[in-house]
Amino acid sequence: MSKLIVNGGKRLSGRLKLQGAKNSVLPVLAATILCNNACEIHNCPSLSDVETSLKILSHLGALCTKEEDVVTVNPENIDSFEIPDSLMREMRSSIVFLGAILGRMKRAVISSPGGCELGPRPIDLHLLSLEKLGAIIREDHGFLYCEAPNGLKGTEINLSFPSVGATENIILAAATAEGKTVIHNAAKEPEVSDLADFLNSAGAKICGSGSDTIEIHGVKQLHGVNHTIIPDRIAAATYMAAAAITGGEIELENVMPSHLISVLSVFKEAGCTVLVDGKKISLRAASQLSRVPTVRTIVYPGFPTDAGPILIAMLSHAKGTSVFVENIFENRYKYTEELKRLGAKIKTEGKVAVIEGVEKFSAANCECTDLRGGAALVIAALAAEGETKISKIEHILRGYDDIAGNLRKLGADIKVV
Ligand code: EPZ
């Protein structure tokens, strides 16, 4: 298993072009299933989750290629409706393929996506919504057998929680369903809007994405499109935190600052200078990071749960005590045990984490527990004197495109072995 070796203590500075958003490219790849002909997706990050998605599409019968950051998917010959268990297990978010397969094939067989490192990841909202659209879903020995013999029919759906994945699955299933679907209490994340933009350019009729009420008028068919994936707002927060924790500076290009307003305010509260200019964000670290009294994670446009581990790692190095409240996932603090090996002083109790800033981190061996927790370890290691070994980095490679190469561009001493 590969590891990351980090020799910390170096001040990072420089410029980076940001990768495309993992949480946008995954549902967009699923959406190609609904198209009649080839799609070209630009600004596609090189991630293991993207590779897994392309394996799923190929398994269904699509022809997929990836050249640099351009992915092409030709869905014309898709003739299967089953995702093999092995591929479902590789990527929890493959549940988002369910709505698209159902929309095209009128049936689907998938295995229940395993829980993940963030605690149980129920899919009740996904299944309830698809049933409301006319799907019949039977669970048997961990497999979900779904069918909609008379096709899917539009309806009103009220989500008890604005689930990102469930909103995306409903949009995918409703895009070519008969009639109108209205989603109340829909997720407003930018990645949902990027999916709607992709589908609308393919001929769908979706309005209201980005708000909590989304209307989808089903259409008969969708054609292939060229689409550019939005920048990854969580990767942006990650590289900014790397510069901030090492007392450095960074200029990020190809960013959407409007997607990061709640995150930028935390960097500013911690004493960093943050400038926004069109699609660029530049950050200069405070000479000494200061505590941020309380950060609460919440759905968009509030502070994103995925940026929690990243800012907790950074604020572990601040002067004073910060408090985080994680309101989205039940168990998102596993990585803090590993952060403590590097010298962080963090107490967690249920949803709350109390972070007592420390002067210095010390290098240690640690292991990733999940994607963003792994990113948190990298950020802390960059500020730890000496050599830190980070194992189980396959978690990190799911969501970050060449994180070591990008950090080396900024002056970090980091390599994958
Ligand atoms: C998406 O996950 C992202 N993943 C997550 O990013 C992100 O943390 C999350 O949205 C919240 O923003 C992708 O887009 C691939 P949810 P998703 O459905 O769709 C509960 C990362 O690090 N829930 O909004 O799974 C669920 O248990 C990943 O990039 C139900 O109870 O998130 C959780 O507590 C991590 N029943 C909460 O809702 C359901 O049917 C939020 O889940 C669905 C969700």
Q: What is the rounded end-to-end Cα distance, in angstroms, of the chain?
A: 9
Choose among 406, 382, 417: nearest CA to 3. 417
Q: Give the atom of ligand 1 at the shortest distance from the alpha carbon of 330.
A: 34
Give the residue, out of 234, 328, 335, 351, with the most ligand 1 atoms within 8 A of its beta carbon, to mutate for a pocket test: 328
Long-range contacts of 14-17 (CB under 8 A, 24+ apart): 14/250, 14/251, 14/409, 14/410, 14/411, 15/250, 15/251, 15/252, 15/253, 16/239, 16/250, 16/251, 16/252, 16/253, 16/406, 16/409, 16/410, 17/252, 17/253, 17/254
Q: List Cβ neighbours of 327 (8 Å cut-off, separation of 6 or more).
A: 296, 297, 298, 305, 351
- Ligand 1 contacts CB of residue 123 (under 6 A): yes
Letter string b/e over residues 32-67, b meaning 16 or more CB atoms within 10 A of that residue's CB: bbbbeebbbbebbbbbebbbbbbbbbeebebebeee
- Ligand 1 contacts CB of residue 93 (under 6 A): yes
- Ligand 1 contacts CB of residue 169 (under 6 A): no
Q: List Cβ neighbours of 278 (8 Å cut-off, separation of 6 or more).
A: none
Question: In the prediction, which pLDDT does 121 show?
Answer: 72
Cα 290 vs. chain centroid, distance in angstroms? 28
Low-confidence ranges of the chain (pLDDT < 70): 114-117, 119-120
Question: In the prediction, which pLDDT does 58 show?
Answer: 98
Strands in 180-184's sheet, in edge-to-edge order, are: 156-158, 180-184, 213-217, 205-207
Phi, psi of 165 (to 5 degrees): -65, -40
Residue 71 Cα to ligand 1 midpoint, Å, equals 25
Residue 114 Cα to ligand 1 midpoint, Å, equals 13
Strands in 321-325's sheet, in edge-to-edge order, are: 294-296, 321-325, 352-356, 345-349
Q: Give the atom of ligand 1 at the shortest distance from the alpha carbon of 234.
A: 29
Q: What is the pLDDT of residues 338-376, one digit of tens each?
A: 999 999 999 999 999 999 999 999 999 999 999 999 999
Q: What is the pLDDT of residues 118-155, one digit of tens each?
A: 766 789 999 999 999 999 999 999 899 999 999 999 99
Beta partners for residue 324, in sequence order = 295, 353
Question: Atom 16 in ligand 1: which residue has the minimum CA distance?
Answer: 163
Residue 396 Cα to ligand 1 midpoint, Å, equals 17
Q: Give the atom of ligand 1 at the shortest distance from the alpha carbon of 26.
A: 15
Question: In the prediction, which pLDDT does 117 show?
Answer: 67
Question: In the prediction, which pLDDT does 112 show?
Answer: 82
Q: Give the atom of ligand 1 at the shortest distance from the alpha carbon of 23.
A: 14
Give the residue, out of 129, 161, 172, 369, with the most ligand 1 atoms within 8 A of its beta carbon, to mutate for a pocket test: 161
Question: In the prediction, which pLDDT does 116 show?
Answer: 64
- Ligand 1 contacts CB of residue 23 (under 6 A): yes
Question: Atom 4 in ligand 1: which residue has the minimum CA distance?
Answer: 23
- Ligand 1 contacts CB of residue 81 (under 6 A): no
pTM of the entire predicted model: 0.97
Residue 165 Cα to ligand 1 midpoint, Å, equals 6
CA distances from 146 to 74, 130, 137, 166, 174 (A): 24, 9, 4, 16, 15
- Ligand 1 contacts CB of residue 235 (under 6 A): no
Residue 43 Cα to ligand 1 midpoint, Å, equals 23
Please identify every residue annotated as catalytic.
Answer: 116
Question: Atom 25 in ligand 1: which residue has the minimum CA distance?
Answer: 165
Question: In the prediction, which pLDDT does 1 show?
Answer: 83
Residue 350 Cα to ligand 1 midpoint, Å, equals 18
Q: Return the structure tokens found at 114.
A: 């395993």
Question: In the prediction, which pLDDT does 91 show?
Answer: 86
- Ligand 1 contacts CB of residue 164 (under 6 A): yes
